[in-house]
Structure 1
């Protein structure tokens, strides 16, 4: 552990914590620019060892009873909760989000282990009546095999956990490559599994060159399934690699979530919810509301209230308990945000509040509200992944539906109305995989998480998440 309390970083291969054989890469605190650690990078030989370890472990883990597998996952969940204060600090130091958000994320990760530990016991097959006397037809659910999983930096606890917990509950083993920028949180999650008695090789953790590791893992004959959460360009690349190997892949590739607010909505009641959800994790949330489409009758009131509430947010280091919005996670996001805002302004957009931060250190961008956006502004067409709220009026429901469906994304959408009929019309016609009606909190361990169209395919979480790591085996028996 370093002087500031950041954990020492290791690879986890065949049940052992080891140094990387291909050098290290610095980890920085996004609130201060300070280097807080060195992430070890795996050599090709270490990747090969992880693959061999996973293949060996699969033979025994897949045959272990769901009850025994679940007991280890539940013990890990218990340890994560016991260590939550330490893990949430690691998360905030390396990713930047406020401590209260990290606290929620760590406890939610424990929920995933608990839920999949139980659901793994209910991966039932079925019996199909035979057409002839003395025959029986059965369909069993079996684990698909070793999994290669790739997780991003914005939710360094929840995203790896979804992949690990579901795959292990299904009877698979998992090689996980978390983001090199936020390594400590994922390692803390795996450390809980290790201390819970996880057999060697069931989980391996690698860091290194993303392109080299992903290509090597996906092309390996040991790997039977891929799971990736991240950007659309990388998702396209990994999808092509998986297709070349005829291997199934789950992809979660982000979104550009519309929020449809109708005239009958209670503006005062939803402003605080809307602002907190928009600026959670500095907007670096794939489910984040981005395009606020407000019916004309309440547009001015909504804009005024949204701007006032945004101005009241406390911006600062996530380790400060008073912070509402922390820094962005890295320089790439800061530069991308600046480019998007400059493009919008050049096309006539108005900044109602926010903009670049004047702080001397940290990847800060002040929570921003923008109106009068041109439809061809990049902000209206590219996932912002930043603390920027775009507000625009609409007249009829048809106008709102056209704008909501205009983009190729299909992850999440939200609607606020007191009318059941309006809510039904919107949820029936907006093309997304997840919907929030009069709320933004829409994901928990027992529900599916995933998108359609260019937001990806497949689900994590829920029964669907478990099934993604299983295959059907059909058996037809004739009794002699």
Structure 2
């Protein structure tokens, strides 16, 4: 294990590396003293520990949030915005350190990690400003001596459970609208990536966010999640993760009728029509499929290519996949880091094995990388069919299966043949086709001639079993607000 006292991560600001949770404004260990090891997936080395907290610490954080909320909600939107803007600025000022922490604990290339810091900070800036625009409404009176006014108020204490694949952005995308609306938030980051969460919490404190308004607890998922879902103080739970866990959380939240927002699993189709610019389509596919080693919820999981251009597209894509440099995310020029765990590698292997047994052909890669640990070769398959596991399940790894299709009707049916509906992509030039297919795809997000769709200004979220609610954009703050209608009588008295 690395020695924290010697600045083991070579940070410019070593104080950003914390190994304690933040509960009600106090950095602390678990009550039991128990810890969880945090490992660098690129080397297998133990970086350090995080507290193995549970129900009691989570309850204290929730109670501290309730106590702190009146003061925070009582500030004007502009006063909150000034503090949030400072948090944003501090994140950007500390980009190098935040990115280095992220790369070491979860593996993504340093350039991608720096991009995530900027992306994460953008939500804070956006919602700091949106908080000033939470307009109410007036409704024409239904009786002459009455007036009707509608106002928006913070929903109350909120809690968030976030994943490891975007350990900063998935927090700020939730915390920023909550805090901008006047709500406190208790965050449970993934136990694989706690240090990114701790680091931005340090910066939140420096920005002036009051004690209790933002807490970070790490540890036992069942105990922390159990307290979050059952505590009557909590008004809202937001979660990013698997559909299976999301359903369990929704079920538990039902007992106290908590508001929930869920960003769940995906199975994104990436459709290339015969009128597409093939070079642009290849670059879009590379960006969508292999970014973060294929470990994003909006990754292209199924590549559908029209039969007339199939061979040409595969040839171009194979050349690009072969060019991807795999290695430790801290090394120069690396484009793909390790997968997060051994279990993630085994899932990719299982999907490849199933596909090959059912007739698919490995064109590029297909094996564990010679670097060892949890590195895997960027992989491309052809001959994929709808009966393969890759057509039904999210691989969450650097493996792209290519399916062949004949026409619009066929590919729309194939693309929609899933319980998921988060993101989809299509490459085409015919404007009529773009509209027809874009509207027919049963997904919350459709990327057209691009593989990068995430931005703070647009609503992110899915349909079907990919989730409920939207994050980002002007719609993203609505989940942290309650609408109150006030009927004022006696006007003519």
**TM-score between the two structures when normalised by the length of structure 2:** 0.95
In structure 1, the residue matched to 2:14 is: none
Deviation per residue, 1:435-474 (Å, 9 max, x gap): 1111122221121111110111111111211001101000
The answer to whether 1:418 aligns with 2:429 is yes
Whether the 8 Å contact between 2:157 and 2:184 is mirrored in structure 1 is yes
The more displaced of 259-268 and 82-91 is 259-268
In structure 2, the residue matched to 1:216 is: 227
Cα displacement (A) at 1:360: 5.2
Classify the secondary structure of the residue corresponding to 2:366: strand
2:29 to 8, 12, 19: 19
Cα displacement (A) at 1:258: 0.7
Deviation per residue, 1:43-98 (Å, 9 max, x gap): 43322211210110112212221111111110000000000000000000001000
- d(CA) in 2 for partners of 1:47, 1:418: 52
- d(CA) in 2 for partners of 1:358, 1:207: 32
Whether the 8 Å contact between 2:287 and 2:451 is mirrored in structure 1 is no
2:249 to 238, 251, 255: 238
Whether the 8 Å contact between 2:359 and 2:384 is mirrored in structure 1 is yes
Equivalences for residues 462-473 of structure 1 within 5 A: 462-473=473-484
Structural RMSD (CA): 1.2
In structure 1, the residue matched to 2:417 is: 406
Classify the secondary structure of the residue corresponding to 1:356: coil
In structure 1, the residue matched to 2:148 is: 137
The more displaced of 52-61 and 416-425 is 52-61
Whether the 8 Å contact between 1:356 and 1:364 is mirrored in structure 2 is no
The answer to whether 1:63 aligns with 2:68 is no
Classify the secondary structure of the residue corresponding to 1:160: helix
Equivalences for residues 102-117 of structure 1 within 5 A: 102-117=113-128
Whether the 8 Å contact between 2:284 and 2:452 is mirrored in structure 1 is no
In structure 2, the residue matched to 1:147 is: 158
1:283 to 283, 294, 297: 294
Deviation per residue, 1:356-384 (Å, 9 max, x gap): 22435421111100111232211111011
In structure 2, the residue matched to 1:264 is: 275
- d(CA) in 2 for partners of 1:358, 1:253: 29
Whether the 8 Å contact between 2:9 and 2:100 is mirrored in structure 1 is no
Structure 2, unmatched stretches of 5+, are 12-16
Classify the secondary structure of the residue corresponding to 1:468: helix
Classify the secondary structure of the residue corresponding to 1:389: strand
- d(CA) in 1 for partners of 2:452, 2:369: 32
The more displaced of 152-161 and 328-337 is 328-337
2:95 to 80, 84, 102: 84
The more displaced of 87-96 and 56-65 is 56-65
Cα displacement (A) at 1:346: 1.6
In structure 1, the residue matched to 2:362 is: 351
- d(CA) in 2 for partners of 1:425, 1:273: 21
Whether the 8 Å contact between 1:273 and 1:440 is mirrored in structure 2 is yes
Structure 1, unmatched stretches of 5+, are none
Alignment coverage as a number of residue pairs: 480
Whether the 8 Å contact between 2:77 and 2:180 is mirrored in structure 1 is yes
- d(CA) in 2 for partners of 1:368, 1:57: 50
Cα displacement (A) at 1:269: 2.7
**TM-score between the two structures when normalised by the length of structure 1:** 0.98
Whether the 8 Å contact between 1:128 and 1:136 is mirrored in structure 2 is yes
Q: 1:413 to 1:296 in 2, by over 3 A?
A: same
Whether the 8 Å contact between 1:100 and 1:321 is mirrored in structure 2 is no
In structure 2, the residue matched to 1:195 is: 206
Deviation per residue, 1:413-451 (Å, 9 max, x gap): 111111100000001101000011111222211211111
2:139 to 128, 136, 154: 128
The answer to whether 1:33 aligns with 2:44 is yes
Classify the secondary structure of the residue corresponding to 1:139: strand
